[in-house]
Amino acid sequence: MIHTLTPDLEREVERRSGQKARNCFQCGKCSTGCLFNFAMDILPHQVIKLVQYGQKERLLSSGTIWICASCETCTVRCPNEIEVARVIDTLRQMALEEGAVPADRKIPIFHKCFLGNIAATGRISEPVLMGSYKTLSGDLFSDIGLAVNMLAKGKIKLIPQMVKGRREVRRIFKEAAR
């Protein structure tokens, strides 16, 4: 299959993220430093190359954009100061906006539940996160025994703890959605 290079995706990602993917010379430092590279279908340096090649459909349907934890290890390691995590976050946002279907449909569900949990309580509450994820993914009982064991050992609490500044957290989420 022959693909033509198109600058459209690269321009859009640059406009939205402020990052110049064209400055990447594929040293691979971002990928070798990534904590989750073992689980990615496209490594961070390959994401940048695919942005340069204009492979929008492939990128927006990849699992990588959902697996990235935005820890910014890739960004710190980049000799050209490309904020790789910001590029990946931009691609994730584009996938949400365009309704792109990822390889594993449960990944964006978890992402949505994770952010919703933070917006609601100001932090992560495992029971709330997993309850919403299990409900939305339709996988209610596959690991119920694990939940029971964790509760019995006191590893998770049923009642979520709220942070004092949760209204401020909600405000930040509302402003980011604009």
The domain segmentation of the chain, as residue ranges, is: 7-98, 106-172
**Tell me: the pLDDT tens digits for 15-64?**
999 999 999 999 999 999 999 999 999 999 999 999 999 999 999 999 99
Residue with tokens 């050209």: 80
Using CB atoms within 10 A of its CB, is residue 58 exposed (0-12), middle (13-18) or buried (19+)? Answer: middle
The predicted model scores a pTM of 0.71
Helix then strand then coil, in percent of the chain rounded to 5, is: 60, 0, 40
CA-CA distance, 90 to 103, in Å (whole number)? Answer: 18
**Assigned superfamily of 7-98:** Alpha-helical ferredoxin (1.10.1060.10)
